[in-house]
Chains A and B, each alone.
Chain A
Amino acid sequence: MLSFNVQIKPGSPAYEQVIYAVQKAFLTGKLKPGDRFPSVRQLSQELRINPNTAHKIVAHLTAEGLLQVEPGIGTVVQKIPSGSAQDKSVLLNKDLERLVVEAKRLSLGLSEVTRALEKHWEKIS
């Protein structure tokens, strides 16, 4: 079992999909500083992805400062300055882009999209 959720879909690199999922888990508090992060082997087995890809994922997250390899313990989730609102909003970029593309395809205006967005926002909060 992994401590974060990811359903890998074909068509875009598994590498990007997993990194995105981990960043999201970190910002939403599912992964906390001090948590053990799966090894390359576990990551590869659990997600059934290429070990080289799993290695690249861990290396990327380590370089970003999210993970640190602690000798004798393994890979541990780090405490980084709490994500600013701007950092967090980066996670939405892809979804936002998709929304804009769809809206333009339907030739909706920005104000119509904003209104629809507000409606959904209120439904949830």
Chain B
Amino acid sequence: MNQPAIRVEHLSKHFRANEALKDVALSVPPGSIYGLLGPNGAGKTTLIKILMNLIDASGGRAEVLGTPSSKLNWKWFQKIGYVSENQKLPEDMSVAQLLAYLQPYYPSWDTKLCSELLQQLDLPVDRKLKNLSRGMKMKAALLSSLAFRPELLVLDEPFSGLDPVVREDFTKGLLGTVADSSGAVFMSSQDVEEVERMCDWVGIMKPGHLFISEPLDQLLRRFRRIEVTLASGDAPKIDWGADVLQAERSGATVNLVHQHFDGEATLTDLRQRSRDVTTTDDSPMTLREIYLAIARVRTT
């Protein structure tokens, strides 16, 4: 079980002339919760659809639980849970009927967990799915994907459009189940705060490219905001080097975003870049700030 839950290398996908994915590489370690961030149209859903064998890649490799994603069939989906943003459900069934219908397909179905989740997610068992709100439907879809303790759970924008109460139920149900099993979670999201709390691995996409893919701790450690004070507002422009993603200057103050911060060594390097530098003051960045800084860098 030490192989990555997902492994992607040099993955590309084009729709006619449009390159939706370019040379994407990532790895989701077993037992981790991987959060994939990026704007609409960045290619998150395309990537997930390739992983779930819903569309073919144009090139490269995508492996899920050690198997090429293009070979995934019903047998593999007994170990993989998948909930998409607009999850289709058999609308004429009640929640109880849906669960009774699904259970025989999954050898690992956990009846005890299923009833715990029903209670925790506060789902009405007898109401038909078509009469449920969108949030309730999402919770029903999550429940049916958690009840068999999947080795991998894939969620495409699980929180979008959910009210705060449903969102909290959803997150708690998810985390409680993950805490008790060794399964991995791969989810795309626009919700940076939720990802910062829940995930231990983060990927950040810009249209077509996966710009960042690494442990959250490491990302939060290496990005740093540094405020540099210059001797005077007239000091000439300074070259801060390739590790500085952003430099916003206002008079004698420059705000830098450094992407490989290494404590005193980095500050010394910055001070040595110009004799106009008088002081430096560094502070940590939230995932949201890092995301925004990356979004604003022009892709070369």
**Interface residues, chain A, CB within 8 Å of chain B?**
8, 10-14, 40-41, 44-54
| Chain B 221-251 interface mask (CB, 8 Å, partner A; 1/0) | 0000000000000000000000000000000
Interface centre among B175, B200, B289 (most CB of A within 10 A): B175
Q: Are A52 and B197 in contact (CB under 8 A)?
A: no
Task: Say whether B217 faces chain A, with CB atoms less than 8 Å apart.
Answer: yes
Known contacts: A11-B286, A13-B217, A14-B197. The answer to whether A52 contacts B31 by CB under 8 A is yes
Q: Is the interface of A mostly helix, strand, loop or mixed?
A: helix
Q: Which residue of B lies closest to A8 (CB)?
A: B197
Q: Are B284 and A40 in contact (CB under 8 A)?
A: no
Q: Are A50 and B287 in contact (CB under 8 A)?
A: no
Known contacts: A8-B197, A45-B172. The answer to whether A51 contacts B178 by CB under 8 A is yes
| A50 / chain B contacts, CB cutoff of 8 Å | 33, 175, 197-200
> 20 more A-B contacts (CB under 8 A) besides A10-B288, A12-B284?
A11-B220, A11-B286, A11-B289, A14-B197, A40-B179, A41-B180, A45-B172, A47-B197, A48-B168, A48-B198, A50-B33, A50-B197, A50-B198, A50-B199, A51-B33, A51-B178, A52-B31, A52-B33, A53-B200, A54-B179
Q: How far is the CA of A44 from the CA of B178 in the complex (A)?
A: 10
Tell me the smallest distance from the CB of B175 to a CB of chain A, in Å: 5
**Residue B172 contacts which of A48, A52, A53 (CB distance < 8 angstroms)?**
A48
Q: Are A10 and B179 in contact (CB under 8 A)?
A: no
